[in-house]
Amino acid sequence: ERARSLNEDSEQIYTAALNKYQFDPYTVEGIPSNNPVCAKKAIVKGPAGQVTVRFVDRCADCKEGTMEL
């Protein structure tokens, strides 16, 4: 539950960091906080169900196509 950060109209939203390969091409003027990927949501599915995440950061160590929750 460490990453649980937001509650929007009873929807639990977790934070996530997107890999640099998908994040960096959209960074504006080298300033990550200006990246339009920030604040975008995604649904993450797994064997125990699914959660909604909002991208708030860049994951420098993540492999291409992955994210850090």
What pLDDT is attached to residue 60?
Answer: 93
What pLDDT is attached to residue 2?
Answer: 47
What pLDDT is attached to residue 33?
Answer: 81
Alpha helix positions (H), 1-69? 20-23
Q: Is 44:3 a contact under the CB 8 Å cutoff? A: no
What pLDDT is attached to residue 6?
Answer: 53
Residue 16 structure tokens: 């996530």
Per-residue pLDDT of the chain in tens (69 residues, 90 and over written 9):
445 455 566 678 899 999 999 999 999 888 888 899 988 999 999 999 999 999 999 999 999 999 999
